């Protein structure tokens, strides 16, 4: 098994890549994909802590939580894609730079 630090570092790297994607991409679907990367990084973190800290035996919290994250992510993707489709229908674009009604 790899040391805990290494797993955490890998997940941190993946999370940061996701952040970079969210900040740089302009396509709403691409941003959504980057968010998925971030979610997975967090799940890895949760699982790692659950597995490495599973003494005394029987602490599944982190694993269950990761499982819930997967489920919620599915729901979130379904909704977000609905929003994206809606957005596309009303503005004929999914470029977030052009969606700037949320201001003064």
Partner 1 sequence: MFWLEHAWILPAIPACAFVVLFVLGRWLPRGGDWVSIFAIGSVFVLFGFVLEAHLDAFGAGLGGLSNVGFDWLSFDGFTLRIGFTVDSIALVMVAVVSLVALMVQVYSVSYMRHHGRPEPRYWWYFAAHSLFAAAMLTLVLADNFLLLYIAWEGVGLCSFLLIGFYHERPSAVEAAKKAFVTTRLGDVGLLIGIILFWRVTGTFQISDVIEAVQAGRTNDLPQVMGHGYLTMATLLVFLGAMGKSAQVPFHVWLPDAMEGPTPVSALIHAATMVVAGVYLVARLLPIFDVAAGVLPVVTGVGLTTALLAGVLALVQTDIKRVLAYSTVSQLGFMFVALGSGAVGIAMFHLLTHAVFKALLFLGAGSVIHMTEEQDAGKLGGLWWRMPVTALTFTIGALALAGIPPLSGFFSKDEIFVAVSAHQDDSILILMGIAAFLSAAYMMRLVIITFLGPPKSLDVIRRAREAPPAMLIPLVILALLTLGVGFFAFDQVGEALGFPGGINNYVYFPLPENFHFSNAIAASTSLISLAGIVAAFWLFWGKAERARRLSEFAPRLTMVVQNKFYFDELYQTAIDRAVLPLGQAVAWFDRFVVNDTGVNGPANITRSGASWLRYHVTGRLPDYALLMILGIVGAGALGFLVRL
Partner 2 sequence: MTATEVVFYIIAFFMIAAGLGVVLFRNIVHAALALIMALAAVAGVYVILSVEFLALAQLVIYGAAVIMLVLFALMLTRSRERPQAVFGKNRPFAVAVAGGLLAAFIGGIVATEWTQPARDDIEPVPFQEIGDVLFSVWAVPFEVVSVVLLIALAGAILLSLPDDEEER
Question: What x/- string results for residues 36 through 65 when contact with partner 2 is judged by CB under 8 A?
Answer: xx--x--xx--xx--xxxxx--x-x--xx-
Long-range contacts of 75-78 (CB under 8 A, 24+ apart): 77/32, 77/36
Instruction: Give, as ranges, the residues between 16 and 35 that touch partner 2 (CB under 8 A).
Output: 16-21, 23-30, 32-34
DSSP letter for 59, please.
Answer: -
2 φ/ψ angles, rounded to the nearest 5 degrees: -75, 155
Shortest distance, CB of residue 47 to partner 1, whole angstroms?
A: 22
Q: Would you say 4 and 48 are in contact if contact means Cβ atoms under 8 Å apart?
A: yes
Complex with partner 1: residue 22 or 50, whichever CB lies closer: 22
Among partner 2, partner 1, none, residue 85 binds (CB under 5-8 Å by kind):
partner 2
Q: Would you say 32 and 91 are in contact if contact means Cβ atoms under 8 Å apart?
A: no
Binding site for partner 1 (CB under 8 A): 19, 22-23, 26, 31, 96-97, 99-104
């Amino acid at each position: 098994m790899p040391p805990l630090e290494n797993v955490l570092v890998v997940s941190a790297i993946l999370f940061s890549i996701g952040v970079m994607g969210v900040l740089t991409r302009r396509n709403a679907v691409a941003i959504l994909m980057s968010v998925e990367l971030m979610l997975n990084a967090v799940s890895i973190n949760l699982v790692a802590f659950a597995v490495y800290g599973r003494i005394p035996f029987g602490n599944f919290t982190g694993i269950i939580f990761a499982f819930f994250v997967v489920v919620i992510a599915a729901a979130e993707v379904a909704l977000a894609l609905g929003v994206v489709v809606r957005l596309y229908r009303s503005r004929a674009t999914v470029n977030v730079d052009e969606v700037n009604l949320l201001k003064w």
